[in-house]
Structures are given as structure tokens and as C-alpha cells.
């Protein structure tokens, strides 16, 4: 039995809110780089951007997004290639940065309370923006009915996870990897669960 992931918010302001979060992520990365000489946040932001872009390219090239899929920004529908680049920029960078920031806050016990406060304030903003998109997307038609699973995507994700575990195990970093994946989960939960609660459709169905 095939399962499809349905989503209805590609034309409901979602990518405009991701653009806002991307700018915030860039500000955070630049602040750490310039004020604390800590370039890890900039590296993680760039890595997230690249890998998200590659993932979207794979989804598009394999036909998993569907032939009619597109997204809109400020009312303008982006062609597929520009859409891939835009999604990589606005989704991947902030996701990776927030996950790393969560990890850093829990690993570095000397981190001051202000850093933690700013982190959770941004999490609150993520919820507010997702709620806005959810309200805008309520009742809209499905914009992306893609298959949840395919052999290639399952193998790729499995390979990345196994490789990450092996590398971290040899370096004694399994605890850090766990924090990072927990940070990813928090971001995804705050975003997509809020979208769903406020009216957007982001749910799997049997095909």
C-alpha cells in the first residue's frame, strides 16, 4: 500500500515566512562569527542550505513532487529550478542552524541565560509564523501530493543516518548527534504541527 504526503500551504505564505526565518538565521550566524569568532553556526547554516537544496533536487528529478508542483513567493509562482534553489535557501539553513544551536546550548554548560532566551524566543516566532500560514492555508486545495516512501529515498536517508552514527561513534559524539536530531525534531514539530492545528493540510494518506 502506497502512502502519500499531502500539503496545502505552498501558496499560502509559507515561503515568505521561511524567508523571514532565513534572514534571522543569517543574522544569528553572522553575530556568532563576528562577535564571538565562532564560525560553526555559519558552517551549519551553509550545510543545511546545500543539503536541503540537494534533497529538493532529488525529489523533483525523481518525479516525487509531481509534474504540476510549484511554489509561490509574494504571489509569484517560481519555476521548478528556481523553486529548488529557493527552498534550499529558506528551509535548510534555519533548520540546520536551530538544531545545532539547541545542541550547543546543552553541551556548553557555561552558555549564558541570554543565549537560551533568544533561542526560545525564535522558537516562539516559528510557532507564530506557522500559525499564520496554517490560517491562510485552511481550505486550500492540495498543492503537493508526493509519495512518502521510495526505494531510493529510503536507502539514501538510511545511508546518511548509519554513516552519521558510525562517524560519531568513532569520535565519541553519539550524545551530540542525539542532541542535534532532537533539535531537528523540535523545529519540525513546532513548524508542521502548528500548521496542521491551525488548518493547513500536512498529512499522510493511503494511495
Does 151 score more than 70 pLDDT?
no
Q: Specify the pLDDT at position 27.
A: 96
- The Cα-based distances of 183 to 80, 103, 197, 200 in angstroms read 30, 7, 21, 23
Residue ranges covered by each domain of the chain: 3-206
Q: How far apart are CA 25 and CA 119, in angstroms?
A: 11
Q: How far apart are CA 103 and CA 11, in angstroms?
A: 33
Q: Specify the pLDDT at position 108.
A: 76
Q: What is the DSSP string of 99-162?
A: HHHHHHHHH-TT--HHHHHHHHHHHHHHHHHHHHHHHHHTTPPPSEEEES--HHHHHHHHHHHH
Does 118 score more than 70 pLDDT?
yes
Q: Specify the pLDDT at position 189.
A: 93
Quick one: DSSP state of residue 89?
I
77 Ramachandran zone, left/alpha/beta (phi>0; psi -120 to 50) = beta
Does 163 score more than 80 pLDDT?
yes
Q: Specify the pLDDT at position 111.
A: 67
Enter the pTM of the model.
0.84
Please indicate whether residue 78 or residue 207 has the higher confidence score (pLDDT): 78
Please indicate whether residue 189 or residue 89 has the higher confidence score (pLDDT): 189
What value does the CA radius of gyration of the chain take, rounded to a whole number of Å? 18
- The Cα-based distances of 44 to 37, 76, 85, 123, 184 in angstroms read 15, 30, 17, 18, 13
In 10 A of CB 104, how many CB atoms?
Answer: 21
Can you tell me the mean pLDDT for 13-20?
87
Can you tell me the mean pLDDT for 151-158?
71
Q: Specify the pLDDT at position 144.
A: 66
In this prediction, residue 174 has a pLDDT band, given cuts at 50, 70 and 90, of: confident
Highest mean pLDDT among 2-6, 56-60, 85-89, 203-207: 85-89
Amino acid at each position: 500500500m502506497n502512502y502519500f504526503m499531502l500539503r496545502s500551504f505552498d501558496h499560502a505564505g509559507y515561503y515568505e515566512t521561511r524567508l523571514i526565518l532565513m534572514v534571522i538565521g543569517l543574522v544569528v550566524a553572522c553575530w556568532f562569527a563576528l562577535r564571538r569568532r565562532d564560525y560553526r553556526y555559519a558552517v551549519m547554516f551553509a550545510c543545511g542550505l546545500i543539503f536541503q537544496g540537494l534533497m529538493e533536487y532529488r525529489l523533483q528529478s525523481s518525479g516525487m513532487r509531481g509534474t504540476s508542483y510549484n511554489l509561490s513567493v509574494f504571489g509569484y509562482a517560481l519555476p521548478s529550478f528556481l523553486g529548488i534553489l529557493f527552498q534550499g535557501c529558506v528551509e535548510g539553513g534555519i533548520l540546520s542552524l536551530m538544531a545545532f544551536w539547541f545542541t550547543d546550548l546543552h553541551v556548553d554548560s557555561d552558555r549564558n541565560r541570554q543565549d537560551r532566551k533568544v533561542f526560545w524566543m525564535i522558537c516562539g516566532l516559528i510557532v507564530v509564523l506557522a500559525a499564520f500560514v496554517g490560517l491562510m492555508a485552511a481550505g486550500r486545495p492540495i498543492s503537493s501530493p508526493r509519495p512518502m516512501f521510495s526505494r531510493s529515498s529510503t536507502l539514501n536517508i538510511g545511508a546518511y543516518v548509519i554513516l552519521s552514527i558510525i562517524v560519531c561513534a568513532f569520535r565519541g559524539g553519539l550524545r551530540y548527534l542525539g542532541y542535534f536530531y532532537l533539535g531537528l525534531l523540535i523545529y519540525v514539530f513546532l513548524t508542521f504541527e502548528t500548521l496542521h492545528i491551525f488548518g493547513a493540510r500536512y498529512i499522510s494518506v493511503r494511495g
